[in-house]
Every structure is written in C-alpha cells, then in structure tokens.
Amino acid sequence: MVKPVGAITRGTTNPNRLRRVDNFLAYRCSALLTEAAQPLVIDLGYGASPVTAVELRGRLAATVRADVAVVGLEIDPVRVTAAQPFAEPPLLEFRRGGFELAGLRPHVVRAFNVLRQYAEEEVAAAWRTMTGGGALLIEGTCDELGRIATWAVVEDGVPRTLTLSARLASLEHPAVFAERLPKALIHHNVPGHPVHELLRALARAWESEASPFGPRQRWLATVRRLRDEGRPVLDGPARWRLGELTVPWPG
C-alpha cells in the first residue's frame, strides 16, 4: 500500500458546497474526460461526509460522460470506513490516500478546502505531488455554503489560472473574495502584489457599475470594465453570467 502523504484536516463540509467548482470542472475538463479511455477524477480530502464526492460523480455523469469514475480520498481511515455505504464501484469509490493520490493516475484532481489548512510553504510541494502523474489539478477554497469560492488550475505543479466565483444574488461586494483566496495567494494580498492589484481593480469596477437591473448585470458590466481596462480576462459572458471571473494566475 502506498503511504498517504499529508495530514488529517478538519473535514467540515456541506451538501452543495462545491457546486460552483463542480460546474467549472465539468466545463473546463469536458474534452479531457470525454476523450479518455477510462476517465478518472479524484476528490481529495472529501472530509467527514462523502457528500461532495457523491455530488461530483452525479454531476459529471449528467453533464460530461456517464462512465466517469470518481474516487474520494481521505487520510483519516475512520472517514474512509464511514463513506463505504455510499460507494458504487467501479464508478464511485472511497479509499485512504493523500497527495500521492493512493498510487492512482487520475485525469483530474479536485482538492478543496484542504491546502487552506496547511502552511503556505507546503503548497508548492503538494501541487507537484498531485500533478506529477499528469493530472490536472483544481485547488481552492470556499465559504461554508459555497456562495463564495476561488480556485487555481494547476498543471505540472504550476498554477495557470485563478477563478473567482460568487452567488451573485447575495454578493454585496467583491472584497469578500479576499477572505477565500487559495492558500498560495491569501498572504500576498498586500500592496505591490498582483493579486492585490487585481482585487483593487475588481472593487473599483464594481463600485463604478451600479445597475438598476440587479447583481448579475452589475457583475457582467464589472467584468467587461476589467477587460476594457486591459486586464487579461479569460472565458466569456457565458461563464461571467454564472458569477465567474477567470484570469491568468497573478503570481
């Protein structure tokens, strides 16, 4: 058995907490999973309840491919045992494992609210370990109800993009993203760092685009303003309408 790499984390979770990143994963990784002979996705650190892995499997089956397999990995053997009644092998399994991915070779790894609980200096090594076999990593954090989330897309140990995602109906101000940045960025939200400048520009655009038509239209106008100001905004209005903003990694 491959020795798990990592430490047991708090394990708190809620149903639908990761719906935003699941939606993005299905969009971003659709071609990768569709073209694979046996598509495999890992939910790393699913926590005290296996609900996020169960939901991920259902969402990918409905939107990408019916035979996408999901494996939930946890270092805590008690959590692995507790998850077994929810398993539906071979399409949904729960195993003990950490950043080494239990020796599996997945196409995609989703690691949410895991590295948030580690020291910043441990992040880069964890990224390299999880992507060392060629997997695409989506790593980030969110609030308890999944209304605010941010994540990085990491390839070969290198972060490529940063996505900010919000439930627009309850978004009062984009300053809330600062509290939920990935571990690799949260301590760099200081003057002079690119992520600080990004959040400042986002705040200015939001404050300039008050709209009588509601938060979705205000968000769309905000993202367009960022783009028009010359910031390299990725994707397009179809994703922006979901409350997303994806930019190159502000490293």
**pLDDT tens digits for range 83-116:** 999 999 999 999 999 999 999 999 999 999 999 9
Q: Which domains does the chain have, with CATH numbers?
A: 19-166 (3.40.50.150), 168-248 (no CATH)
Closest residue by Cα to residue 99 from 138, 125, 71, 79: 125
Side-chain half-sphere CA neighbours of 41 within 13 A = 32
All residue ranges of the chain with pLDDT < 50 are: none
pLDDT tens-place string over residues 219-233: 999 999 999 999 999
According to DSSP, the β-strands at 136-142 and 108-112 are: parallel
Q: What is the pLDDT at residue 169? A: 94
